[in-house]
Amino acid sequence: MESKQFTLNLGGYQMPIDIHHLGVEENGHEAGTRRDHFRFNFQWRMVKFHVAYHEDGGALLDLSADLGGFPFTAESPKGRTDLKAILAEGNGKLGPVFQIRNGRITVIKQLPVQLPVTAVELVTALTGFLLKLAPYLDCLSMILATPIEVSKGASRLRPAYRRPATTKGARKI
């Protein structure tokens, strides 16, 4: 009977580690592997976050996420104004984490991690920041729908923030 085993691949390392085939170098790392950098993704509140771990004078996590498009003024002047206010308030409290790049709202944050790096340290660093970020994501979701809520190519603006459609050639009286 063949045994089935669950495996998880995180940053190029397969979990659980097969301790029967584990080699260790003099520095204490697994033979043939590097521990000074790796990447992984996760989804939280219907937002995909990207994390890159690296050691550059200390252990750091580079966290990033794309929160969606920033509306044009013609599309939603009120949406732009309210989004700018939320982003400014978030940046005032959390530091410059919200940015608008190429018409997209992004989150970018570098988080220090305690050495030696463990799963507990990674989760603690990420969770501490995400809990602070949560109220701003909630406010943004009042203006922008999540990708799962709308069909591909449709506006993510909530109906209250959309400009009413006008008929071409119609005149206001």
Can you spell out the DSSP letters for 32-82? T---SEEEEEEEETTEEEEEEEEESSSEEEEEEEEEEEPPPTTT-HHHHHH
Distances (CA, A) of 117 to 11, 48, 60: 13, 23, 10
Read off the CATH number of the domain in which 97 is found: 3.30.1460
Q: Is the pLDDT of residue 32 over 70?
A: no
Q: Is residue 138 part of a domain?
A: yes
Residue pair 145/158 in contact by the 8 Å Cβ criterion: yes
Q: Residue 87, exposed/middle/buried by CB under 10 A (0-12, 13-18, 19+)?
A: buried
CA separation for the pair 173, 171 (Å, rounded)? 6
Asked whether residue 169 is assigned to any structural domain, the reply reads no
Report the distance separating Cα 135 and Cα 120, nearest Å: 24
Q: pLDDT tens digits, residue range 113-122?
A: 987 788 888 8
Kindly report the average pLDDT of the chain as a whole number: 81
Task: Determine the pLDDT at residue 173.
Answer: 57
Please, which residues bridge with residue 37 across strands?
54
pLDDT, tens only, 136-160? 999 999 999 887 788 887 888 998 9
171 in a domain, yes or no?
no
Q: Report yes or no on 124 lying in a domain.
A: yes
Q: Would you say residue 173 lies in a domain?
A: no
For residue 142, is it within any domain?
A: yes
Tell me, yes or no, whether 28 lies in a domain: no
Question: Is residue 73 over pLDDT 50?
Answer: yes
Under a CB-based contact definition with an 8 Å cutoff, are residues 80 and 69 in contact? no
**For the ranges 16-30, 61-75, 88-102, the one whose mean pLDDT is highest:** 88-102
Q: How many domains does the chain have?
A: 1
C-alpha to C-alpha distance for 159 and 144, rounded to whole angstroms: 9
Q: Which domain does 66 fall in, by range?
A: 35-161
Asked if residue 16 belongs to a domain, the reply is: no
